[in-house]
Structure 1
Amino acid sequence: MLRFSANLSMLYPQHAFLDRFAAAAADGFKGVEYVGAYDYPATQIADVLRENGLTQALFNLPVGDWVAGERGIACLPERRDEFRSSVDQAIGYAYETGCKQVNCLAGIAPSGADRDELETTLVSNLQFAAARFADAGIKLLLEPINTKDMPGYLINTTDHYEAIAARVGSDNLYLQYDFYHMQIMQGDLIRTLERLQPRIAHVQIADNPGRHEPGTGEINYANIFTALSRLGYAGWIGAEYRPSGDTSSSFGWVPE
């Protein structure tokens, strides 16, 4: 059976962040995810999850200053120490919330930066994080993101993920496969899913264009859900979209 998690960074925007947990539970979700909740004590997040009968499906390593436009710090040479400290912080939140996987946003390449140096830094940091997370029994994920929504982001395709993963050389570096981002960057969604399914630990969904709910754009999610079922995909499917209207009225795409 397919399992869906509500991305609380995008869904239920009318509610304060901590109130979104109850809203997701009321709509029938069993899992939640979000960019990060490091502004709140981990014990408070754990309490809200428990009160609403929810599983923490995923969150990200600290991403830097999101409001200022940062989208991860893993590729930035001058932030190496900060990144490595953030690994322990994420492990603490994962332990407290019972989360079994954490995603890494690689970061945006600074203008004029040497790309080889950025990738070498990313590889080194992922080697460090993959080992630390493995010791903690937590999966580390890496996510490719499209260059239209996030110009300059370092990792943009599944091919690039595979190249970085080969350099990292760890069995504990998985792929977060976002159908929306990959439709924009490369298409061929189901064949890529079939080929990489053993390395895919989490998937996310939104339609294109607009990044609204499935059924509002060009992606055939009925076929994608059928493929996920056929392949025996057992991970969470993150509903990471901007509702075109009221969130609770946007779930007509959910398979019966």
Structure 2
Amino acid sequence: MQRRDALKLTAGLPFVAASPSIASVKAEKFTAAFAPHHNMFKHHAGDDILDQIRWSADMGFTAWEDNGMPNRDVDVQKKIGELLAKRDMRMGVFVANKINWTQPTLTLGAGEHRDAFLQSIRESVEVAKRCHATWMTVVPGFVNMRLEMGYQTANVVETLKQGAAILEPHGLVMVLEPLNYRDHPGLFLTKAAQAYEICKAVDSPACKILFDIYHQQIQEGNLIPNIDLAWDEIAYYQIGDNPGRKEPTTGEINYGNVLQHIHDKGFRGILGMEHGNSEGGKSGEMKVIEAYRMVDVQ
């Protein structure tokens, strides 16, 4: 099927209330493992997260992402994992640690913040088992204005080494996410090169990079060269166009070229759709799907 034909399967379909069999027509699966998130398609699928996963699968998505998974009831986590397995979908990231957006934590080194982080990693192992996840997002938190960056980096590296030792026996991976200065001023981790340096220092298969294309476009641009330079430490990507942090084709990023480049280099992992919809309602949800059909890889 050609991409233009696949678009016809999604544009303007008369989907109504959610049910165990939501769609009467199922769309062709995307080539890339794009991962929608909770409430991205609620106008078509309803409020129940399980129905939203079913509807996403019917629309051709083969992955799912849920930052707030650790906050869900244990029973819901298990049901999500079971449904994803049934629908042949992979689980993407959830956020492993509580992020402090204004005060230093992991940059401080040993103490209560390191202890709390390591406890969150232990708890995340159980969450991952329930929902069949492999990756979990880690953000090291706020910069320490009273300590040289080299010491802060050493403190973060040591904390992550201890976290990696917890994850390695389970085959799980924490992915470090650099965030941009505009949306999140004052955070410690901002650039791909910085994340690369830290991952090399931790030296563990359980500590890799989450390359959020939206954040990195704002922070430093030069997307494809930076992806190439950090390639062997990147385990996960997230998507959002700039400006606006909406679906691809709504901003300045040439997602068709960027995603094809990643695919051509051999990446077959998950690409999280961490953005809002540019338009509301059912028509806005279909616009998101159409955008992903346009930038899907060949």
TM-score band (shorter)?
0.7 to 0.9
In the alignment, does 2:288 pair up with 1:250? yes
Q: State the partner residue of 1:50.
A: 82
Determine which structure has the larger strand proportion and give its number: 1
In the alignment, does 2:160 pair up with 1:135? no
> What is the TM-score with the length of structure 1 in the denominator?
0.86
- CA distance 1:73–1:46, shift in 2 (3 Å): farther
Secondary structure of 1:254 counterpart: helix
Secondary structure of 2:208 counterpart: strand
Q: Deviations 1:97-148 (Å, cap 9, x if unpaired)?
A: 11112221111236x4435454333212100111211111112211111011
Equivalent in 28, 49, 63 of residue 18 of structure 1: 49
Q: Which whole-Å CA distance do the structure 2 matches of 1:143 and 1:115 have between them?
A: 21
Q: State the partner residue of 1:148.
A: 182
Q: Does the 8 Å CA contact 2:81/2:132 hold for their aligned counterparts?
A: no
- CA distance 1:207–1:72, shift in 2 (3 Å): farther
Q: Does the 8 Å CA contact 2:35/2:92 hold for their aligned counterparts?
A: yes
Segment drifting more, 235-244 vs 186-195: 186-195
How far has the Cα of 1:217 moved from its partner? 0.7
Secondary structure of 1:253 counterpart: helix
Q: Does the 8 Å CA contact 2:238/2:274 hold for their aligned counterparts?
A: yes
Q: Which whole-Å CA distance do the structure 1 matches of 2:78 and 2:174 have between them?
A: 20
Secondary structure of 2:71 counterpart: coil
In the alignment, does 2:116 pair up with 1:82? yes
Superposition pairs for residues 134-213 of structure 1, below 5 Å? 134-213=168-247
Q: Which whole-Å CA distance do the structure 2 matches of 1:242 and 1:210 have between them?
A: 8
How far has the Cα of 1:243 moved from its partner? 0.7
- CA distance 1:180–1:2, shift in 2 (3 Å): same
Residue-pair matches, total: 251
Secondary structure of 2:36 counterpart: strand
In the alignment, does 2:95 pair up with 1:60? yes
- CA distance 1:251–1:70, shift in 2 (3 Å): farther
The amino acid of 2:277's aligned partner reads P
Q: Does the 8 Å CA contact 1:42/1:97 hold for their aligned counterparts?
A: no
Q: Unpaired runs of 5+ in structure 1?
A: none
Q: State the partner residue of 2:136.
A: 102
Q: State the partner residue of 1:38.
A: 70
> What is the TM-score with the length of structure 2 in the denominator?
0.75
Q: Unpaired runs of 5+ in structure 2?
A: 1-30
Q: Does the 8 Å CA contact 1:62/1:72 hold for their aligned counterparts?
A: no
In the alignment, does 2:36 pair up with 1:3? no
Q: Which whole-Å CA distance do the structure 2 matches of 1:18 and 1:121 have between them?
A: 38
Q: Which whole-Å CA distance do the structure 2 matches of 1:178 and 1:230 have between them?
A: 19
Q: State the partner residue of 2:21.
A: none
How far has the Cα of 1:23 moved from its partner? 4.3
How far has the Cα of 1:35 moved from its partner? 1.7
The structure with the largest alpha-carbon Rg is 2
Determine which structure has the larger helix proportion and give its number: 2
How far has the Cα of 1:70 moved from its partner? 6.8
Segment drifting more, 153-162 vs 186-195: 186-195
- CA distance 1:141–1:17, shift in 2 (3 Å): farther
How far has the Cα of 1:229 moved from its partner? 2.1
In the alignment, does 2:147 pair up with 1:114? yes
How far has the Cα of 1:41 moved from its partner? 2.7
The amino acid of 2:243's aligned partner reads P
Q: Which whole-Å CA distance do the structure 1 matches of 2:48 and 2:141 have between them?
A: 24
